[in-house]
Amino acid sequence: MTRGTQFLGATGRSVAEALGAIGRFVGFALSSLGWILRPPFYPRELAMQLMQIGWLSLPVVGLTALFTGGALALQIYAGSARFSAEFAVPSITAIGMVRELGPVLGGLMVAARVASSIAAEIGTMKVSEQIDALRTLAVEPMQYLTVPRIVAATLAMPVLVAVGDAVGILGGYAVGVSRLGFDGPTYLRNTLDFLEFWDIGSGLVKGAVFGFLVALSGCYFGIHSGRGAQGVGEATKSAVVMASILILSANYLLTEAFFSA
Amino acid sequence: MIQGTDLHKSFGAKQVLRGVSFSVAQGESLVVIGGSGTGKSVLLKCLLGLERADRGHVKVAGLDNPRPQVLAQKVGMLFQGAALFDSLPVWQNVSFRLMRGAERLDKKAAHALAVEKLARVGLGPETADLFPAELSGGMQKRVGLARAIAGDPPVLFFDEPTAGLDPIMAAVINALIREVVSELGATAVTITHDMRTVKEVGDTVAMLHEGRFYWQGAATDALKSADPVLRQFTQGRTEGPIPTLR
């Protein structure tokens, strides 16, 4: 066999494996959506996941938004000063936060915190035969483990994004007033006057989509985790990487859909 | 009560089961022995519906090739590592299916039932509110056994029930298994390497070797057999027809 044939064969195998992996992931996503509507439902599990994914992610999302809002105000001020357009700092900071940075950075922080923990938890359950045990106790793992996590993340992320938006704008306000010499009431008025409903709404929709993708990645890699500590570690890493890539690519597609001229 | 007919199962190129056939009568306790990696746990998973055999037929408690969710009311299973749910206290582990299945026990009834079953396996009521991480290996096995018998099932499966336990605790678990199987009048299949489990739990023994049941008979006969393969295994010898590098 020539080197060229070997190269083509290896490339073909890699492409086929990649397509197979995408197909399995999409199949898992569709299957998860199908299970959401089928009883029985597990409201207690859902409540626990809302607490885990939503409430306990508030500090990390809030801190990220606070510092990002402050940095954004500084950057926009530095840039707009070149055109004597410093007055635009409040509105551009707010629009940047609610449309892009709030949902994307919030989503990435939740991916790091939640996708990893879901994959590790479910992966460990698989390795220790707890998933088999669920099935022998008449409970479908997709309904008991996957559905509550996906629904909770999809519901919690828009709330986290909304909080992140508010805290990020507050961060910009704090820097604007204390470091850049803006008048407080004027900064707030400029922020509110230029914000439109869809600026905020689009960010919240992105948040819901990102929440779905984060939980989906965690559940998929957890359920397909390999054996032993190495298998669970690999699943955890893959879940975070996949969730992050999906968030960034979905963000572009949603931005195209919402704001392209 | 439990029947496997010509069961075949492969993983990739590796043929694990190559035509396993057997039956276990009602009230009988079958112990399956065999070397590591010979497919004992795969056989158990096929019986439970957790793995689908490539070929062959399974019948458990009157159900043909059942799915685990369908079997759940008729079967109790003790997993090798107990497989308790870390996020739930012991009492919820024990009553897990009865709180979520057709019975839909409320919390009070589920707690009372769990305390009763825990007492049956020698654990006090104070154990009920602990979490699995707070229990020793032996206690986890007892809780796993309590969960297996929570619904008084007619069929019980045990996967390596004494694995990882000291000899005294292993004897306790063997005795408990013997007692609960007898009390429930249950049909039982136990997977083990432990010859004491064979003696204390089994009415009959089957040895899985090279993908088939190589030997089947009474537990007492298995331990006295002159068959070279069976003797090497039951006496734990390194010399004999079974290769030690597997």
Q: Which of the four pLDDT bands, split at 50, 70 and 90, describes residue A1?
A: low
Predicted local distance difference test score (pLDDT) of residue A78: 94
Q: Tell me, what's the pLDDT at B243?
A: 74
pLDDT digits (tens, 9 = 90+) for B43-82: 999 999 999 999 999 999 989 998 888 888 899 999 999 9
Asked if B72's CB is within 8 angstroms of A138's CB, the reply is yes
> Running DSSP on this structure, what letter comes out for residue B216?
E
Record: contact B80-A133, CB cut-off 8 A: no
Task: Please give the residue of chain B at the shortest CA–CA distance from A128.
Answer: B83
User: DSSP E strands: which ranges in B186-230?
Assistant: 187-191, 204-209, 212-218
Residue B139 in 3-state DSSP?
A: helix
Closest Cα of chain B to A40: distance in Å? Answer: 9
Beta strand ranges found along B80-211 (DSSP E): 155-159, 187-191, 204-209
Give the pLDDT score at B36: 83
pLDDT at A11 over 80: yes
pLDDT in tens, B178-203: 999 999 999 999 999 888 999 999 99
Mean pLDDT of chain B, nearest integer = 90
Of A42, A125, A136, the CB nearest to B48: A136
Are the beta carbons of B100 and A140 separated by less than 8 Å?
A: no
Separation between Cα atoms, residue A242 and residue B235, nearest integer Å: 51
What is the mean pLDDT of the segment spanning B9-26? 92
CA distance A166 to A93: 11
The answer to whether the CB atoms of B83 and A140 lie below 8 A apart is no
Strand partners, A120: none
CA–CA dist A57, A185 (Å, integer): 31
State the pLDDT at residue B102: 79
Per-residue model confidence (pLDDT) at position B245: 62
Tell me what pLDDT residue B221 has: 86
In this prediction, residue B237 carries a pLDDT of 76
For a pLDDT cut of 90, what percent of chain A falls above it?
88
What is the pLDDT averaged over residues B146-158? 94
Q: What pairs with residue B10 in β-bridges?
A: B15
What residues in chain A have their Cβ under 8 A from chain B's Cβ atoms? 40, 42, 48, 125, 128-130, 132-133, 135-140
- Mean pLDDT of chain A, nearest integer: 94
Mean pLDDT of A90-117: 96
CB contact under 8 A, B83 and A130: yes
Q: Tell me the percentage of chain B whose pLDDT exceeds 70.
A: 99
**Per-residue confidence at B233, pLDDT binned at 50, 70, 90?**
confident
User: Is residue B246's pLDDT more than 70?
Assistant: no
ipTM above 0.85? Answer: yes
Show the tokens assigned to B180.
Answer: 């609960």
Check CB contact under 8 Å for B96 and A130: no
How far is the C-alpha of B117 from the C-alpha of A102, rounded, in Å?
51
Question: Residue A4: is its pLDDT beyond 80?
Answer: yes
Q: Where are the domains of chain A?
A: 61-254
B93 at interface of A, judged by CB pairs closer than 8 A: no
Residue ranges with strand state E in B25-82: 29-33, 55-60, 63-64, 75-78
pLDDT higher than threshold 90 for residue A237: yes
Contact status, residue A94 vs residue A195, Cβ threshold 8 Å: yes
Query: What pLDDT score was predicted for residue A155?
Result: 98
